Structure 1
Amino acid sequence: MEIALRTEMHTYSGGLGVLAGDSARSAADLDLPMVFVTLVSRQGYVRQEIDARHAQVGHPDPWSPQDFATALPQMVAVSIEGRSVWVRPWLHALECPLGHVIPVLLLDTDLDQNAIEDRRITDALYGGDQAYRLKQEIVLGIGGQSVLRALGFSIEKYHLNEGHAALLTLPLLRATQQLDGGRAADPMLGYDIPGVRERCVFTTHTPVEAGFDKFDYDLVQRVLGDYVERDVLTRLAGSDRLNMTRLAMNLSGYVNGVARRHAETTRKLFPGYTIASITNGVHVHRWTHGAIARLFEQQFSNWAHEPEVLAFADQIDDGALWSAHEEAKSDLLARIAQTNRRQLRLDLPLIGYARRMTAYKRPELIFSDMGRLREIAKGQPFQIVLAGLAHPSDGGGQEAIRALGAHIDALDGVIPAAFIPGYNLDIGAALVAGCDVWLNTPQPPLEASGTSGMKAAINGALNLSVLDGWWVEGCVDGVTGWSIAGNGAEASDAGALYQKLRDVVLPLYHSDRGRWIWMMKQAISKIGPSFNSHRMMRRYVTEAYLR
């Protein structure tokens, strides 16, 4: 549904889109025979403004596809509410430094041939009601599969990235339909389900049942019509509502979660299914600050194409690494001064927190006990920088942003802090490179993977995180970063966070710079070689695509 290719292309909202963009970049670097398909999302996700009361004010965030993509002449039609809705692809050619190109197709319904309401289907990323979402997913899945055929692509494997694309399985299913062979007795016998499963790979990113896209069958009937018989859908996608995740799982021959812990959680949600795990990774060249990248170039020139060599980053000179880190931190402080008119200090530790603002990520956890936080800061001063967007319909996420602003005000004069508005790819890159400590406090086990901490680590920032998602695999406590070892309850996790800050993290920063830099090098050399998107894509090729 989303992909983060450039800051100016507003076709992403958060981690799922950023991961898709990193996957495409690695596919280009590795010269994999792939094509990526998404929606054009002309009005973007949300342009964030923070008002005087610290509340998020959301605006449309339009962009012009013609500035970054080429409109292709081919069009296909999909049936929505009994109308033919035409879909045209835009082509964005993603070229890597080695000259390899990956095609990215952006599907668009804003065409003169379409009714006014249908022209808006590909406008807003994750916008509108259930009917709007279903129409988008028809365009993405059914329309996307038709577009690929119209453009002459010969697709051996379809990789469904989250349940949004699950309807792609239906045209594949219809293509196997037999006109005889026992359909009256059992309609399922009329389809070659094993044949469809052989062609589909599915990655789920959601660790809770409530997060799966589900549509009432009456709505499906009204919008999609009799594309596939209702009793077939109920057996493949759930008896009560069309569950997009269940549909994708039943029609995919390979299913995986995005971290080991996430795969374990998903197996509990779907007992009886075989669910593998391929832990997410990040594109190291995209997310490494220029100053750090220059160090890598001096040590091992092939680091961007072969991130495994970052295992030798522990040999980098301490002074050179600290100097490069201070350059990245200075860039971030300059950005904060420009956007927030707050002058944070280079010599104080900077704790960063930036991600999609929603309740389960618990963005306010560090502010749970303001008295205790102030007490810690009096003896061992530190700073905080925050950023993140809330979905326009996520009241809890928007309230969290307002509360964060109030906390920042309440800490004025004790703990310097700032919330950077307008979170995007550029701000994200500045944050992961410029912070000293990267904080992550989700409610376990609700963090499927998380990738921002990986980006921070390859820049030498040290993770301080709840043991969930990828951090279960990446954390060597006191070496690559630190765990927040509560029991999952908010009070317990907050207490564990404060204890680790007071007794371990801040004393180390203020009193033992040599050990801190040693940990920075451990984070780079142990996390960089494993948690990168080149490794991830190679595993998808060998374990999923070539099966």
Structure 2
Amino acid sequence: MIDEFVRVPRVAYFSMEIALRNEIPTYSGGLGVLAGDTVRSAADLELPFVAVSLVSRAGYFRQEIDSQGRQVERLDPWTPERWASPLEAMVAVTIEGRPVWVSGWLYLLEGYRSGKQPVILLDTDLDHNRSDDREITHYLYGGDATYRLKQEIVLGIGGMRILQALGFRVLHHHMNEGHSALLGLELLRRYAYASEDLRPGESSYDIPRVRELCSFTTHTPVEAGHDKFPYDLVQKVLGAFVELPTLKSLAGEEALNMARLALNLSEYVNGVAKRHAEISGKLFPGYRVHAVTNGVHPFTWTAPSFARLYDAHLLGWAHEPELLVRADRIPDGEIWMAHAEAKQALIERVRAASGVELDPELPLVGFARRMTAYKRPDLLFSDVERLRAIAREHPFQLVLAGKAHPRDEGGKRLIEFLHARMRELADVLPIAYLPNYDMSTALAMVAGVDVWLNTPLRPLEASGTSGMKAAFNGVPSLSVLDGWWIEGCLEGVNGWAVGNASDAANGSDALHLYDKLQQTVLPLYRDDRPAWIAVMKGAICKSASFFNSHRMMRRYVTEAYIR
């Protein structure tokens, strides 16, 4: 089965997590969903691509919410045999001085038409390995620093070796975040000069050649978010893979900084939005950071009702989403009917999952993402009495969802806080919280709500993509001006801004949010259906037509892969 993919050179795309389908929990959030959308667009565009990730047999976790609104984590394992084919190749990486064997699984990701892409899911759960080594690829973002370093050795070095063993010819390597940066060290060793060819003082590594072969996408706008490993740990776990002075010159003097290593071994570096590229350039002075703003996969994130609508009026939209710029020609009634179908589907899902009865006639605001402090899921509830007054004047509803990382106690407390506010406001504001946020729930929400809310702390939202997904379903965004929304927001045309981009303190965002809801968004929905549908069309024409992963992939090909 692998033979059909090794005939032409391919771009190898490395990502610690990747969202392949709802039943395969090899992702935790936005980074993995973006990776999945990247490969889906590569399949649709029939690009020569191969993705490499970890099998993560134990999954991330299944979220339950108890009667007090507390998150409960359950195991969420999956069976690779059900969805993927075992690979015959097996390679070894050296960890703590011993060989650890790595094989994997081939998952075929099929595009919405005829294209398909190979995804290699690396696996150390082999009889050849001792028990603790068999678990290296089990837990997504699990364990301590030692466990994480072992995973990143398997991903970067093991991934490179398995591609070679399978016969892939790689024309370019794309690192999706720094987790796979050790692949650069494997390339250094492959392209080392023979000692007799060196002059005194010359490096034995062809660093320029390695840089030409690599690109790096950074997603993290703060230094603390990048993986760092103490060199004593690196020497214990990885050994003398390359000489320590060389490693320090590439990855930092104090610790092995995976982002720094990726930066120094990549000719093309990009952030995931224009503002994020600017911030990353300041975070890493001396490096040129390009901007390729994220996008979402058109077919995956469009509800069936809207897909049928686009097929009827804009045939070919899923392959050429730029055609959606003409969505303003679609009759208002058909737009509204497609939305009503998606909204009813969400209402039924909410009823089944939570017992909350939502009213299809009232505006429904959605908020769903990873529950952590900088996302500020509590901003809407900053002033309960103001929120109560708004709900009495302009009745509306809320649907919320999101997981907190098992070790993020602050995120877990936010989920409890939201449930406390839900109980406090039950007499005036219907609120539902959907547990176990996943791809299926995400699609139902981005298609079924009337307004998509996003309230991150500036400038910590590198890009964000949920509002892009909403736009494919005619759902406008109400969002803080950060990430992609700085580029995308056309006030009153495709959505609305919360606050302003220059408010570094973020101090007035709650007030602006309440004012925008009370004075603009909710009255427009209630009083002027044609004007509201015009904003829905604006979301499709102005946002979905541009902020899609087909446009993103075409830019990667022309700017990063082919230079």
TM-score, normalization by structure 1: 0.98
Name the counterpart of 1:234: 248
SS of residue in 1 equivalent to 2:49: coil
SS of residue in 1 equivalent to 2:195: coil
Name the counterpart of 1:505: 521
In 2, the alpha carbon distance for the partners of 1:370 and 1:12 equals 34
Name the counterpart of 1:127: 142
User: Does 2:436 correspond to 1:406?
Assistant: no
Query: Which residue among 391, 398, 403 is the counterpart of 1:389?
Result: 403
SS of residue in 1 equivalent to 2:101: strand
What are the superposed Cα offsets for residues 53-101 of structure 1, whole Å, 9 maximum, x if unpaired?
Answer: 1111112210000110000111000001111111112000112232222
Name the counterpart of 2:153: 138
How far 1:489 moved relative to its partner? 3.6
In 2, the alpha carbon distance for the partners of 1:181 and 1:401 equals 62
Q: Equivalent residues in 2 for 1:130-529 (5 A)?
A: 130-180=145-195, 186=201, 189-486=203-500, 487-529=503-545
Name the counterpart of 1:26: 41
In 1, the alpha carbon distance for the partners of 2:320 and 2:506 equals 40
Query: Which residue among 47, 65, 72 is the counterpart of 1:57?
Result: 72
User: Does 2:113 correspond to 1:98?
Assistant: yes
In 2, the alpha carbon distance for the partners of 1:177 and 1:270 equals 27
In 2, the alpha carbon distance for the partners of 1:231 and 1:512 equals 67
For the 8 Å contact 1:365–1:490, the answer to whether it is kept is: no
In 2, the alpha carbon distance for the partners of 1:198 and 1:104 equals 23
Name the counterpart of 2:11: none
How far 1:181 moved relative to its partner? 6.2
TM-score, normalization by structure 2: 0.96
What are the superposed Cα offsets for residues 440-498 of structure 1, whole Å, 9 maximum, x if unpaired?
Answer: 00000000000000000110111000000000011000101000015254541111100
SS of residue in 1 equivalent to 2:93: strand
SS of residue in 1 equivalent to 2:229: strand
- Matched AA of 1:423: Y
In 2, the alpha carbon distance for the partners of 1:295 and 1:485 equals 34
For the 8 Å contact 1:182–1:189, the answer to whether it is kept is: no
In 1, the alpha carbon distance for the partners of 2:450 and 2:112 equals 30
SS of residue in 2 equivalent to 1:107: strand
How well do the aligned residues superpose, as a CA RMSD in angstroms? Answer: 1.1
In 2, the alpha carbon distance for the partners of 1:381 and 1:256 equals 43
Query: Which residue among 48, 52, 77 is the counterpart of 1:37?
Result: 52
For the 8 Å contact 1:163–1:245, the answer to whether it is kept is: yes
In 1, the alpha carbon distance for the partners of 2:67 and 2:392 equals 28
Aligned residues: 546
How far 1:183 moved relative to its partner? 7.3
In 2, the alpha carbon distance for the partners of 1:210 and 1:194 equals 28
In 1, the alpha carbon distance for the partners of 2:122 and 2:199 equals 37
SS of residue in 2 equivalent to 1:284: coil
In 2, the alpha carbon distance for the partners of 1:170 and 1:272 equals 21
Flag structure 2 segments of 5+ consecutive residues without an equivalent: 1-15
Is the deviation greater in 486-495 or in 97-106? Answer: 486-495
How far 1:301 moved relative to its partner? 1.4
In 2, the alpha carbon distance for the partners of 1:48 and 1:172 equals 40
In 2, the alpha carbon distance for the partners of 1:244 and 1:144 equals 16
User: Does 2:520 correspond to 1:533?
Assistant: no
In 2, the alpha carbon distance for the partners of 1:483 and 1:191 equals 50
What are the superposed Cα offsets for residues 229-283 of structure 1, whole Å, 9 maximum, x if unpaired?
Answer: 1111111001101000000000001000000000000000011111101000011
Query: Which residue among 81, 84, 89 is the counterpart of 1:74?
Result: 89
Query: Which consecutive aligned stretches of 4+ in structure 1 deviate over 3 angstroms post-superposition?
Result: 181-186, 488-491
In 2, the alpha carbon distance for the partners of 1:185 and 1:388 equals 57
Flag structure 1 segments of 5+ consecutive residues without an equivalent: none
